[in-house]
Amino acid sequence: MKNSLLILMCFTAITAKSQIAIGKTTITNTSVSLEFTDAENKGIILPYVEEKSGITENGSVIFDNTDHKVKYLKGNNDWFDLSVDITGKSDIAIQQTKTELTTAKTGIGTNGADSTNGILVLTDTDKAMILPRVASPHLNIINPASGMMVYDTTKKQLAVYNGTVWSFWKP
């Protein structure tokens, strides 16, 4: 009984907090669901996708392995290209050595892992994700992977890497 109560209390403590910091001990403010450390020159790697017709959730971000571009879904099947250069490449061998569990899914937020399709789903409707922040990623990330995404603190822009070049986007 004690063990069951202890396990229940641990799960309650974990699920009560809907904000996560990776590589750091605290988040910067209450409007953040997921935040990464600023201490290292690393970014997030988007999923390598070859068949995107089943992805229907607006705002989804992928590395399209058919044409080597970082894209996001911004309408009913309208994929927006975030890669300026079309000669990208990918490290598909890395992806092919991994076996994906088709039911794998993690939800972060107070709404839990709802019915939205995705591997990592941020479910809060009033919080954002802060990308890893790197000063001049094209200079400071020595060996970026295809599909890497960071926030460039020097240029104050979104930076995406398609396997060949960095593309920079500002609001």
**Which tokens in the block code for residue 132?**
């890893």
**Residue 1 — very low, low, confident or very high, per pLDDT cuts 50/70/90?**
very low
Residue indicated by tokens 């995705």: 118
Mind listing the pLDDT tens digit for each residue in 85-96? 666 665 554 444
Whether 9 is in a domain gets the answer no
Domain limits at 158? 17-169
Q: In the prediction, which pLDDT does 91 show?
A: 57
Whether the CB-CB separation of 157 and 150 falls below 8 Å is answered with no
Q: In the prediction, which pLDDT does 89 show?
A: 63
pTM of the model: 0.71
DSSP codes, 14-63: HHH---EEESSSS-SSTTEEEEE-SSSS--EEPPEES--TT---TT-EEE
Mean per-residue pLDDT, 116-144: 82
Q: In the prediction, which pLDDT does 104 show?
A: 63
**Residue 164 — very low, low, confident or very high, per pLDDT cuts 50/70/90?**
confident
Whether 3 is in a domain gets the answer no
Domain count, the chain: 1
Whether 8 is in a domain gets the answer no
Whether 57 is in a domain gets the answer yes
Whether 104 is in a domain gets the answer yes
Residue 153's contacts (CB-CB under 8 Å, 6 or more residues apart) are: 133, 134, 135
